[in-house]
Chain A
Amino acid sequence: MRPLISVEGLAKRFPPRQGGDAAVAVFEDVWFAVGEGEFVCLIGHSGCGKTTILNVLAGLEEASAGVVLVDDAEISGPSLDRAVIFQHHALLPWLSVERNIAFAVRSRWPSASRDETQQRIQRAIGLVKLTGAEKKRPAELSGGMKQRVGIARALAIEPRMLLMDEPFSALDALTRGNLQDEVARLCAETNQTTFMITHDVDEAMLLADRILLMTNGPRARIAEIVVNTVPRPRRRHDLHRHPAYYPLRNHVIDFLIERSQQARDAPAGDPRHPPVVRPGDAPPIPQTMEVIR
């Protein structure tokens, strides 16, 4: 798989506080890639710089070292190719749902006709099932609906890559579950390349192809890359019935609870190629057995 975006040697350091001597690195030597059409989740505890990594990918923040390549070209600043779904929706409160999306559509296609713009807006609203709420202001919507508008706004510009910063963390459990299903469906339908930050293991298992496990900060790095061994299509209500579910889940949770601290201090291997693990991957069934069945 050709990487659409690749992160090479990324680090973020902050100037030392008074009394300190060296600059404090939040994360260091972070390498990973996201392939075209792939869904990658990054999991880690607070303080490991997850949001900073996403902001660097979005072009909103600058890294202290390292580069981000899109199609082998280094990025400089934000781009319409990389749409961001913000943690707190970030809708413009003085605009209606429709006009919030129009703001994005007109940024992407400034010279499109009124009809074409309107069609794109309607399609995006339909995609997140908000038809009928076009004229409402964000303040009149529930938290889940606001986040749907945020998703519609990001998808409306047909980005090459979607960046999501814990998009469901501010929602109640029921709404979160429904939205996760929607995002799973949307990403599968559109084959959307997506990078998402989360601290919800089930969310990552439902959505991701690969899960990047990050050690604790400071000096956080990527400790492991976990391949999601539960095959698609995955559905929230029967995900746990798959034999790979518990091995995978236990592996990630064990990491978060026990190993995220040690892994940071353990001697690092090659930071460019963190170990790839496939928990719960059954050994291939011998051909002969297949025949007998």
Chain B
Amino acid sequence: MGSLPVRAALLSVMFLAVFVAAWHLATLPTTVGAPMDPEYAKLMGATATQGKSAMPTPRDVGVAIVSHLVDPFFDRGPNTKGIGIQLGYSIARVLLGFSLAVIIGVPLGFVIGMSPLMHRALDPFIQVLKPISPLAWMPLALYSIKDSALSSIFVIFICAVWPLMINTAFGVASVRREWLNVARTLEVGVWRRSLAVILPAAAPTILTGMRISVGIAWLVIVAAEMLVGGTGIGYFVWNEWNNLSLSNVITAILFIGAIGMALDQGLAWCGRLVSYAE
């Protein structure tokens, strides 16, 4: 009967086949209505003249994907860039904003986790700021930074920083007391204790925070780029909507999913590197 992974993979392929078949059936051409004047027909799309479905068929999307994969990095002017370039912009923004969030959120979380006083003092701010949709910051960012690209990076930063800070603080605060006591009886200084005991002990929790953060950042970048425009996969999606090219929109959706998965799996792999069994 085969092992569990093999059976699961078979089942996955089957689900995909069923979905594509249903999609195919739903987008079959319909019968054309009354014959048109040829001049008029030229003005109309294939939907009106040949009964082609307005929704792209699996085949249309397949062709679009292949065309994007064959030439992902072309650049023919501001509105005609390959999907690779657009994804590259988005990934760069997410990584920049995320790195900024790590640089600021992890040390701050460390302080909050180590000091009950700071925890209590900063908690009200965190609780109020955390649930704000990152896009609500956009006007403020655009006004004060005066640069749309930097503003989108700021928005990524602000959405990624909270889970990082909160998870770091939690991880640091819940380091086992006996490990800290070991460090105390060995007269280990505060820096060495932080780096050699607390950081590795909290690392799995911090990595979980990073995974959550990068996931949110990748969700938000699409919306941010739709607002800001210019470049990026979010802008690409909106642009293709304005072009009424739904096959390109669907292609972009699939790429967004794939990249999001890759980011998450990358951090999951890092998480396994720092995990430990007690």
Nearest-CB distance from A165 to chain B (Å)? Answer: 10
Does A79 count as interface, using CB distance less than 8 angstroms? yes
Does A56 count as interface, using CB distance less than 8 angstroms? no
> Are B185 and A139 interface neighbours, CB within 8 A?
no
Does B184 count as interface, using CB distance less than 8 angstroms? yes
B276: which of A82, A84, A93 is its contact (CB, 8 Å)? A93
Known: A78-B187, A104-B186. A137 touches B277 (CB 8 A): yes
Q: Chain A residues near B37: list those with CB within 8 A.
A: none
> Are B278 and A139 interface neighbours, CB within 8 A?
yes
> Are B185 and A60 interface neighbours, CB within 8 A?
yes
Q: Chain A residues near B186: list those with CB within 8 A.
A: 78, 80, 103-104, 107-108, 157
> Are A79 and B187 interface neighbours, CB within 8 A?
yes
User: CA A92 – CA B202 in complex, angstroms?
Assistant: 12
Does B127 count as interface, using CB distance less than 8 angstroms? no
> Are B184 and A139 interface neighbours, CB within 8 A?
no
Q: Chain A residues near B182: list those with CB within 8 A.
A: 84, 86, 90, 92
Does A45 count as interface, using CB distance less than 8 angstroms? no
Identify the closest chain A residue to B178 (Cβ): A90
Question: How would residues 235 to 278 of chain B score, 1 for a CB under 8 Å from any chain A CB and 0 otherwise?
Answer: 00000000000000000000000000000000000000010111
Interface residues in A, total, Cβ within 8 A: 24
Q: Chain A residues near B197: list those with CB within 8 A.
A: 92
> Are B196 and A103 interface neighbours, CB within 8 A?
yes
Question: How would residues 181 to 192 of chain B score, 1 for a CB under 8 Å from any chain A CB and 0 otherwise?
Answer: 110111110001
Identify the closest chain A residue to B192 (Cβ): A107
Identify the closest chain A residue to B187 (Cβ): A80
Q: Chain A residues near B15: list those with CB within 8 A.
A: none
> Are B187 and A60 interface neighbours, CB within 8 A?
no
Nearest-CB distance from A99 to chain B (Å)? Answer: 10
> Are B200 and A84 interface neighbours, CB within 8 A?
no
Nearest-CB distance from A214 to chain B (Å)? Answer: 23
Nearest-CB distance from A146 to chain B (Å)? Answer: 11
Q: Chain A residues near B74: list those with CB within 8 A.
A: none
Nearest-CB distance from B277 to chain A (Å)? Answer: 4
> Are A86 and B200 interface neighbours, CB within 8 A?
no
Nearest-CB distance from B121 to chain A (Å)? Answer: 25
> Are B185 and A94 interface neighbours, CB within 8 A?
no
> Are B278 and A90 interface neighbours, CB within 8 A?
no
> Are A92 and B200 interface neighbours, CB within 8 A?
yes
Q: Chain A residues near B160: list those with CB within 8 A.
A: none
Nearest-CB distance from A38 to chain B (Å)? Answer: 21
Q: Chain A residues near B201: list those with CB within 8 A.
A: 92, 94
Does A59 count as interface, using CB distance less than 8 angstroms? yes
Q: Chain A residues near B276: list those with CB within 8 A.
A: 93-94, 137, 139
Identify the closest chain B residue to A99 (Cβ): B196
Q: Chain A residues near B23: list those with CB within 8 A.
A: none
Does A58 count as interface, using CB distance less than 8 angstroms? yes
> Are B185 and A84 interface neighbours, CB within 8 A?
yes
User: CA A94 – CA B182 in complex, angstroms?
Assistant: 14
Identify the closest chain B residue to A140 (Cβ): B277
A107: which of B181, B187, B200, B277 is its contact (CB, 8 Å)? B187
User: CA A108 – CA B185 in complex, angstroms?
Assistant: 11
Residues of chain B touching chain A, judged by Cβ–Cβ distance below 8 Å, are 176, 178-179, 181-182, 184-188, 192, 196-197, 200-201, 203, 274, 276-278
Q: A84-B181, A84-B185, A86-B178 are in contact. List 8 more A-B contacts (CB 8 A).
A: A82-B185, A90-B179, A90-B181, A94-B200, A103-B186, A104-B186, A107-B192, A139-B276
Q: Can you list 28 contacts pairing A with B, beta carbon distance less than 8 Å?
A: A58-B185, A59-B185, A60-B181, A78-B184, A80-B185, A80-B186, A83-B185, A84-B181, A86-B178, A88-B178, A90-B176, A90-B178, A90-B179, A90-B181, A92-B182, A92-B201, A93-B278, A94-B203, A94-B276, A103-B196, A104-B186, A107-B186, A108-B186, A138-B278, A139-B276, A139-B277, A139-B278, A157-B186
